[in-house]
Amino acid sequence: METVKETIENSEMPVQSSAIKQWSISVVLMVCVVLAFFDKISIAVLFSDPAFQDVMGIGTDKTKLGWLMTSFLLAYGFSSIFLSFVGDLINPRTCLLICVGAWGVLMALMGLATSYEQLLFLRVLLGIAEGPLFALAYSIVKQCYSSGQQARASTMFLLGTPIGAALGFPITSFVLGAHGWQMTFFVMASLTLVTLAVVFWGLKGVKLKADAKLAGNRKRVTWQQHMRNSQLLFKTPAFWAVCLFNTALLTYLWGLNGWLPSYLIEAKGVNLKEFGTLSSLPFIAMLVGEVAGAFLSDKTGKRAAQVFGGLLIAGLSMYLVLKIEDAVLAIAAMSVSAMSWGFGVSSVFALLARITPASVSATAGGIFNGFGNFAGAAAPVVMGYIVTQTGDFNLGLLFLVFVAVLGSFVLLPLVKKY
């Protein structure tokens, strides 16, 4: 199996005119992730909007609301696993432009939806369109950055996760309060045009290639060779350990993103106006954790230990949220939990890069991200079911605590080696 060092030596690194130009590539990817998270989590703000619930015929059925998030994530995971291989065979810039364009069309159609079934179907299509994003971003980072830069480069686009949530929740809340639920989708659709321009011009001139194309004048890897390389990947226990760990990592993320608005409003007594400000704090903390974690990861190289500790502390800190009655203090504890999660996740793609060969990087990234999102997809509907059956939101969050703590220990066997 090809090592990271061999990957760097054998790959044709694009020549950049300046450090600013080189690092702007990750900024472009971050903009894509920000938009994707706007699209993903905007629906969660509508979970507490009576007008939206009435039009969709949902009422107060939280399980049905959870399916709007879960259906997206299931399709997202399926697409990430089974469509991300395209990034190994086709230029990732082209793939990225097609994906972003599809998001805009689908968000506009959601604003025109008149039934729960229509919206559910469009959420599935959105999940399919967004599925390859992280695999494509991971593929571009591996081509454009050395192993000593990959954690920082990956973190720059991963910052789109907390930034998207930190901005998406209050922006959606503002648009919802001022113009109604339909306009929230139209605003997201309009932001797609800006993102398309950023991708087109930001990656113009960057020497990207399909991952399966080897450097120099050597021949492109055939489909059969690609399958053989993939089989080697599938036989690597460390790869599957990281994939299993990632399921816990993303279960935490999607459980938090899916139910944070409703939890703060219904369990902690926060009103919609206050929510717009308070909801940003955990995700700002997550952003700080990711930035700090990225620099520490590249400095120490202790990838596995960092992601293990980050998720473990995130789970333990989330448990404190359940014990605190005051809304502000509960959000402070939730912010510590989110910061720890960000500290760990900043190194997870760099850890994946250490154990996967370059010829199947998009495939590895797709499987890694896809399986994680398949499991994470269960979080919104499972939490919705728990809350519906028990009437206790804290029990829903307790589910996330167990998943985070237990999931972190999956990575223990890799801590010494990686």
Task: Tell me how crowded residue 404 is: count the other CB atoms within 10 A of its CB.
Answer: 28
For residue range 192-230, what is the model confidence (pLDDT) as tens digits? Answer: 999 999 988 888 766 666 554 534 444 455 556 556 666
- The CATH number of whichever domain residue 375 belongs to comes to 1.20.1250.20
Model confidence at 382, pLDDT cuts 50, 70, 90, reads confident
Average pLDDT of span 225-244: 74
Number of structural domains in the chain:
1
For residue 367, pLDDT over 80 is answered with: no
Model confidence at 234, pLDDT cuts 50, 70, 90, reads confident
Model confidence at 384, pLDDT cuts 50, 70, 90, reads confident
Comparing 134-143, 335-344, 358-367, the range with the smallest average pLDDT is 358-367
Percent of the chain with pLDDT over 90: 17
Residue 84: its pLDDT value, please? 65
Average pLDDT of span 281-290: 86
Model confidence at 19, pLDDT cuts 50, 70, 90, reads low
Average pLDDT of span 372-379: 77
For residue 12, pLDDT over 70 is answered with: no
For residue 23, pLDDT over 60 is answered with: yes
Residue 9: its pLDDT value, please? 38
Residue 1: its pLDDT value, please? 37
For residue range 26-59, what is the model confidence (pLDDT) as tens digits? Answer: 888 999 989 988 887 778 888 878 888 888 888 7
For residue range 153-178, what is the model confidence (pLDDT) as tens digits? Answer: 877 777 787 788 778 878 888 888 88
For residue 323, pLDDT over 70 is answered with: yes
Q: What is the pTM of this model?
A: 0.66
Average pLDDT of span 257-268: 77
Residue 387: its pLDDT value, please? 85
Average pLDDT of span 112-117: 91
Model confidence at 4, pLDDT cuts 50, 70, 90, reads very low
Host domain of residue 157 = 4-414
Tell which wins on pLDDT, 181 or 235: 181
Average pLDDT of span 281-310: 84
Average pLDDT of span 179-190: 92
